[in-house]
Each structure stands twice: as C-alpha cells, then as structure tokens.
C-alpha cells in the first residue's frame, strides 16, 4: 500500500494513525508504536538450532511454543519477519525480558542505525539495501543477542536465507564458532548489500552520462537531480552504518570475542571502501551536471554561430536589394530586360564567395 500508516498498541488499544510520526508525542518511553513507510507485513517466526554436529531448522512457528532457555552447547537463532501482529510480538519480547527501549526501536522502522549495550543484551539496528532489477530500497534490520540467543527482526522477507543455507553445511565455519560469529555474519551480509546498490548507482551514472553526451535535454535534469537525491540518502545510510561497525570493531563488549573482532575489522574496511566509492559517485554526479550545462552552452553557441553566419551572408544581399528597391531612374541594368539576371548572378557570387571564405576560416 502506498499510504503511510502508524500503528499504536497501548494499554490494549490498537489504533491506526496516518502520515505523521508526531502521533507518538505524549506517550511514555518504551511504548511499541509502529512507524513505517507502509502497512506492516504479516509476522512470521523461524528458528534454527545448531552445534558442531547437528542442525535443526523450523519455520512458521507459534512464538508461544518457542523455547527460550536452550541448551548452552547449541546456538539458537530466531528470525522474525514482519511487524503486523504487535500483540504476538509483545508476548514474544516479554518472554525475553527485553528492555522497553529495544522494543520501541524495533517498531520504529524510520530510526537511524545504532548499537546499544544493555549489559545483559546487545542491540544493533542496521539498514539493509535490497536491490532487485526494478528498483532498490532499504529496510531496517534489528539484531538482539541475549542469554545465548540471537534474534533478528526484519520488516519483510528473509534477507538471511544464504546464511541459513551455509549453516546447514557440516564443514562450515558456523558450526565451529560461537554466536558472535553468527552476529558478525549477519552484519557482513548487510554491509555487502550496499555493494549491490553501489553497482546500480554506477550503472545509473554511466547511463546518465551517455544521455547527456548524446542528447542533452531538460528531462535529463530531473533524472540528474533524482540521482543526486538518491546519493544523499544513500550516503546518510552509509555513515550510520559506518558508526555502528566502527563501534563493534573497537568495543570491548563481552558479546564479541577477539577472534571474531578480527573479522569485524574486515567489515569495517568494506564500509570504508563503500564510503570512498560513494564519494567518487557524488563527484561523478556533479561532473554529469557540469557536462550537461557545458553541452547546452556549446549547443547554444553553435546555434548562435550558425545564425550569425547566415546573417552576415545576407547583409550584402540585403544592401543590394535595398539600393535597387529605391526609386532611382539611373541604376546599372535597371532598364535592361536581362538586368535581373545580372543582379541575381552578382548576389549569388557574393553569397558563394562568403560561404567559401567562412569554410576556409573554419567558421562553419
């Protein structure tokens, strides 16, 4: 749906508010209020348990039946997709005894990326870029680590299906590493999604550059402005991502082992690479606008030069016709029956001579 909705669940009341985030004003901190670009998707739960020997995957579960006191030898990963069923989600989060501010941030899909350490739990909010062929968009991803359980929450779909497949491989690194490695893998996949968006941005930049060079027209200005707007939005997302990854890489959190922190440092290098490429594309966008303005200026100069040449050619011809258009009795050839042939020949000679002269001077 194209309309923007705000879902509020407070003291057993479910309401729908449109358009404005300000409807949250006046409520105490920690109240779960859905704030998103469109109506929330249906809520589904899936869970995966694994250790170095076994792995078990279950999907479309009833959250009331999920065991939240797993075997410490096993790693438990619960993925929640969609934020429509607020009652169900509240029951699930209450079983985890999450901090109220975590629950509030999960439902606020327009919040910025961040990381918070609540001592007994680690909460990470990141923005993941989805890049299908039609268009690319982003969605908020929440990652919570508490009591040996990792919970990931997405607005829609299962963005971590590739990681789920890797876990099922008996010889993969997941089976021999802890839950912090799983957390790193989710963050790494989110960072990699920005590279796909960068590829789309690079393709758009090349397409715009070709259009500007071949056929600059006013419609391209709108495309360039839209492209620059996308770059600004994308840059804001990347900088928020950079802050979170930098904090993870440099923090001394108990949720991240030193062996995994090395991998997180590599993720931070990827974010730096994305930032550098984004700056390059921003300069490219400015260059495309300059090329457009230069092309328009050159085209205007060509038109003015052509009109000037035509005007200069017709000045002597206009002078001759003006003289012979006066009511003088004695003018060369005025009483000659073939006089008009003489005058037209002279005018043709002058025009031809000037065209040859201008071409020789390379003015036309």
Q: What is the reported pTM?
A: 0.74
Residue 168: inside a domain: yes
User: pLDDT of 204-257, one tens digit each?
Assistant: 888 888 888 888 888 888 888 888 888 888 888 888 899 999 988 888 888 888
E strands present in 60-169: 75-81, 114-117, 121-130, 137-146, 149-154
Average pLDDT, the chain: 80
Asked if residues 86 and 9 have their Cβ atoms less than 8 Å apart, the reply is: yes
C-alpha span between 126 and 153 (Å, rounded): 11
CATH of the domain at 116: 3.30.460.20
Domain span including residue 169: 40-173
Tokens of 239: 């900088």
Where among 141, 173, 205 does a domain terminate?
173
Where among 153, 173, 193 does a domain terminate?
173
E strands present in 114-267: 114-117, 121-130, 137-146, 149-154
Q: What is the pLDDT of residue 270?
A: 92
Residue 8: inside a domain: no
Which residues neighbour 355 within 8 Å (Cβ) at sequence distance 6 or greater? 313, 364
Number of domains in the chain: 2
Q: What angle do CA 127, 129, 133 make, to 5 degrees?
A: 165
C-alpha span between 359 and 363 (Å, rounded): 6
CATH of the domain at 310: 1.20.58.340
Question: In angstroms, what CA-CA distances link 256 with 249, 326, 360?
Answer: 9, 99, 77
User: pLDDT of 97-129, one tens digit each?
Assistant: 888 888 888 888 887 889 998 888 899 999 888
User: pLDDT of 3-56, one tens digit each?
Assistant: 333 333 333 333 333 344 445 665 666 666 777 665 567 888 989 988 888 888
DSSP state for residue 98 in the 8-state scheme: -
Q: What is the pLDDT of residue 150?
A: 93
User: pLDDT of 42-51, one tens digit each?
Assistant: 888 989 988 8
The model's confidence at residue 71, banded by pLDDT at 50, 70 and 90, is: low
- In this model, does residue 328 exceed pLDDT 80? no
What number is the average pLDDT over the span 251-280?
Answer: 88
- In this model, does residue 58 exceed pLDDT 90? no
């Amino acid at each position: 749906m194209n309309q923007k909705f705000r879902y509020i669940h407070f003291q057993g009341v479910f309401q729908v508010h449109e358009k404005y985030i300000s409807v949250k004003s006046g409520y105490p901190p920690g109240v779960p209020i859905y704030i998103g670009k469109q109506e929330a998707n249906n809520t589904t739960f899936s869970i995966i348990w694994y250790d170095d020997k076994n792995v078990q995957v279950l999907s479309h579960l009833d959250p009331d039946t999920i065991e939240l006191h797993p075997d410490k030898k096993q790693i438990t990963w619960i993925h929640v997709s969609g934020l429509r069923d607020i009652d169900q989600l509240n029951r699930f989060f209450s079983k985890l005894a999450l901090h109220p501010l975590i629950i509030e941030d999960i439902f606020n899909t327009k919040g910025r990326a961040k990381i918070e350490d609540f001592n007994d739990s680690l909460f990470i909010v990141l923005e993941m870029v989805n890049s299908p062929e039609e268009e690319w968009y982003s969605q908020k991803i929440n990652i919570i680590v508490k009591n040996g359980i990792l919970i990931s929450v997405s607005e829609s779909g299962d963005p971590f299906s590739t990681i789920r497949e890797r876990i099922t491989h008996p010889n993969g690194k997941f089976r021999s590493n802890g839950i912090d490695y799983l957390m790193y893998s989710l963050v790494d996949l989110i960072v990699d999604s920005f590279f796909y968006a960068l590829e789309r941005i690079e393709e758009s930049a090349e397409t715009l550059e070709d259009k500007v060079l071949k056929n600059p027209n006013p419609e391209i200005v709108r495309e360039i402005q839209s492209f620059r707007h996308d770059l600004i939005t994308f840059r804001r997302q990347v900088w928020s991502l950079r802050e979170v990854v930098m904090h993870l890489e440099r923090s001394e959190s108990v949720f991240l082992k030193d062996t995994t922190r090395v991998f997180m440092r590599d993720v931070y290098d990827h974010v730096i690479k994305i930032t550098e490429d984004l700056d390059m594309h921003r300069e490219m966008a400015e260059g495309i606008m300059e090329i457009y303005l230069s092309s328009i200026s050159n085209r205007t100069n060509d038109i003015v030069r052509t009109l000037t040449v035509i005007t200069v050619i017709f000045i002597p011809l206009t002078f001759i016709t003006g003289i012979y258009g006066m009511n003088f009795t004695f003018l060369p050839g005025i009483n000659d029956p073939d006089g008009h042939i003489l005058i037209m020949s002279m005018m043709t000679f002058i025009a031809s001579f000037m065209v040859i002269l201008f071409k020789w001077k390379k003015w036309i």
